[in-house]
Structure 1
Amino acid sequence: MKHLISIILFIGIIFIAGCGQSNENKGTNKDNNADLTPVKFALDWTPNTNHTGIYVAKEKGYFKEQGLDVEILLPGEVRVNQLLAAEKADFGISYQEGLTQARSEGLPLVSIAAVLQHNTAGYASPKEKGITSPKDFEGKKFGAYGSDLEKAMMTTLMANDNANVDEVDFITTGDADFFVAVERDVDFSLVYYGWTGIEAELRGVDLNMVYLADFSDKLDFYTPIIATSEEMISADPELVKAFTHATVKGYEFAIEHPEEAAQILINAVPDLDPDLVKRSQDWLSPRYQDDAEQFGIQEQDRWQKFADFLLENKIIDEAVDVDQAFTNEFLPDK
């Protein structure tokens, strides 16, 4: 009986010690999580393959390796540039055109990496419309968002092709579905091939594409980009560096492993069409870095040309110091 009691007491002591160790481990894990710096990252649009590197960096633990706990904010009524300027987000997806305009209006935003090295936007139209060059825009209906920049870009392309933009009928369609719009209301619209073009392939819709960058080097601007604020850079440059390094690692993974990266995005956002994500990722992955020496790098010349274009076309009223608008300093050394 004494032996039995001794055994029970011994087992009890081991159990209590084990629980204590378990609780201690839980406490350590909790403390480790608490040590992570919270970061808010704002998306510009519904999650898509422009954003894959962010989701990869989160899923693969690249942000945690840098001591960051990144929360991805879905788009709402307030746009990314305004969220960054108001310090409601720390980083976000923006565009060179939007960021340049924001700086001209006094919002001190900075691009820290290019998501795509070259502009993949172009004028898309069903093949039967016969639109293969800017000259073919004449006499056609264009589905527009309604911005002055749209007309300025089209004017430049058409002038280079000895065509007249006044012969184009601008129809404001806003965010209307491209496929519905070209069936019912317009002949062509501006899209990113990496998403809408790939969707067209899946739908069996043959498109003609007139890419902006093919007809004017002024319009080979960086879109999209990853942006932050001057305040963030000034207040915590080490955090900016940590975030950028993890993000670059995420996109480099997507470049090398498009299939796995696509699945990470699909798992994170189950509402997305898996076939569209996979096909889009295959198309986009080699275009993240493209011909650049490393992912994310930006050139002063391209920022200057586009800023000059905006000023010449009165899209902005004040010249922008492009050296303040972007930086490569937070990219990893290669």
Structure 2
Amino acid sequence: MKKLLIFMGCLLLFLAACNQEKETSQASTSQKKQMKNVKLVLDWTPNTNHTGIYVAKEKGYFEDEGLHVEVMMPGETGADQLVAAGKADFGISAQESITQARVQDIPIVSIGAIIQHNTSGFASPKDKNITSPKKFEGKTYGGWGAPVEKAVISSIMEKEDADVNKVDIVNMGNTDFFTAVKRDVDFAWIYYGWTGVEAELRGQDLNMQYLTDYSDKLDYYTPVLTTNEKMIANKPDTVKAFMAAVSKGYQYTINNPEDSADILIKAVPDLDPELVKASQKWLSPKYKDDADQWGIQDQKVWENYSEWMYNHDLLDKHLNVEDAYTNKFLPNK
């Protein structure tokens, strides 16, 4: 009898343990079912502009917000088109592209500035002696064929009474900066945080004319995070959750550039580790810069740049600024 009681006790404990394990498994399965799948499309191949996203994935910040995020490459279609069409829930773009899209009634909205100030400018090898926009005259500029390029070059050359028509503007396609300036062009438009840092690592001295040195109106947001109007209207909680996780990812990257660089290298092993680490060190302080919080956008910046674009015949009509961007999905400070 005593043995039977012991056996029955053990059996009950075993059954209770099995039941608890089943309940735990069901709860875990239920939690997985509740995770929302969203797609984020990059603007270009992965680089340090995107580090906060990869940090948010690695650190589980998206999971904490109930999101499973798939990172996509833009392909030939482009990030803006994929987001506007609902083929991707979120994307990476620039204020220039959003402005042009909104004027054409394309329903895409900027929901966060990845970098607070424009870090781009015109770069040339030191030995070409292009030390100012005036010296663009008689030189060859290599670009990608967008109307905004000539407008920007003209705008800063005018500050020095120089003539943009004396610049030979050619399309260098996908040729990288370092190959192009050795072969066919004298200067090109680069983002210093990647190409400029790479030049430092190569021991190649550059002359830089940063856009922000010549006009406050050219201090626009590039890059930015985007979504479409349907997401904002129908799934605002998802947008808010996404931005909470991304904000946390970029804040971590601001505070921990070395560890964040390692996370990006692990996620994208084809990248040059030395370049990623140097670029991240340069860029991390610039994500937030002088803003109150990462991601915040100022209406005046949107007004200034859209006015500049309109005045340089890059827009058919004025931008309705209030519809082009929003800060409402950023976390409360």
TM-score, length-normalised on structure 2?
0.94
Deviations 1:70-92 (A, max 9, x none): 11112211111101110011111
- 2:106 aligned residue: 107
Q: How many residues were matched structurally?
A: 333
CA drift at 1:13:
8.0
- 1:124 aligned residue: 123
CA drift at 1:316:
1.4
CA drift at 1:175:
2.1
- 1:138 aligned residue: 137
- 1:284 aligned residue: 283
Code of the aligned partner of 1:238 = D
- 1:296 aligned residue: 295
- 1:258 aligned residue: 257
CA drift at 1:17:
6.3
Distance 1:272 1:281 in 2: 13
Code of the aligned partner of 2:137 = E
Code of the aligned partner of 1:161 = E
CA change 1:202–1:7 in 2 (3 A) is farther
CA drift at 1:9:
9.8
- 1:237 aligned residue: 236
Distance 2:119 2:199 in 1: 15
- 2:201 aligned residue: 202
Q: How does 1:43-122 map to 2 (within 5 A)?
A: 43-122=42-121
Distance 1:268 1:8 in 2: 53
CA change 1:12–1:309 in 2 (3 A) is same
Distance 1:132 1:33 in 2: 57
Distance 2:278 2:4 in 1: 67
Distance 1:8 1:68 in 2: 46
Question: Which deviates the most, 11-20 or 237-246?
Answer: 11-20
Q: SS of the residue aligned with 2:220?
A: coil
Q: SS of the residue aligned with 1:83?
A: helix
CA RMSD of superposed structures (Å): 2.0
Distance 1:67 1:249 in 2: 14
Distance 2:82 2:12 in 1: 55
Distance 1:90 1:35 in 2: 18
Code of the aligned partner of 2:68 = D
CA change 1:167–1:16 in 2 (3 A) is same
CA drift at 1:122:
0.7
- 1:225 aligned residue: 224
CA drift at 1:331:
1.3
Q: SS of the residue aligned with 1:70?
A: strand
- 1:156 aligned residue: 155
CA drift at 1:40:
0.8
Q: SS of the residue aligned with 2:331?
A: coil
Query: Aligned pair 1:32/2:31, yes or no?
Result: yes
Query: Aligned pair 1:177/2:176, yes or no?
Result: yes
CA change 1:289–1:144 in 2 (3 A) is same
Deviations 1:212-236 (A, max 9, x none): 1111111111000001111111112
TM-score, length-normalised on structure 1?
0.94
Q: Sequence identity, in percent?
A: 54
Distance 1:128 1:12 in 2: 85
CA drift at 1:26:
3.4
CA drift at 1:30:
2.4
Q: What residue ranges of structure 1 are gaps of 5+ in the alignment? A: none
Distance 2:256 2:128 in 1: 37
Q: SS of the residue aligned with 1:142?
A: strand
CA drift at 1:146:
0.7
Question: Which deviates the most, 24-33 or 278-287?
Answer: 24-33
Q: SS of the residue aligned with 1:123?
A: strand
Distance 1:7 1:43 in 2: 63
Deviations 1:179-222 (A, max 9, x none): 10001010110010101111111111111111011111111110
Query: Aligned pair 1:187/2:186, yes or no?
Result: yes
CA change 1:271–1:21 in 2 (3 A) is farther
- 2:213 aligned residue: 214
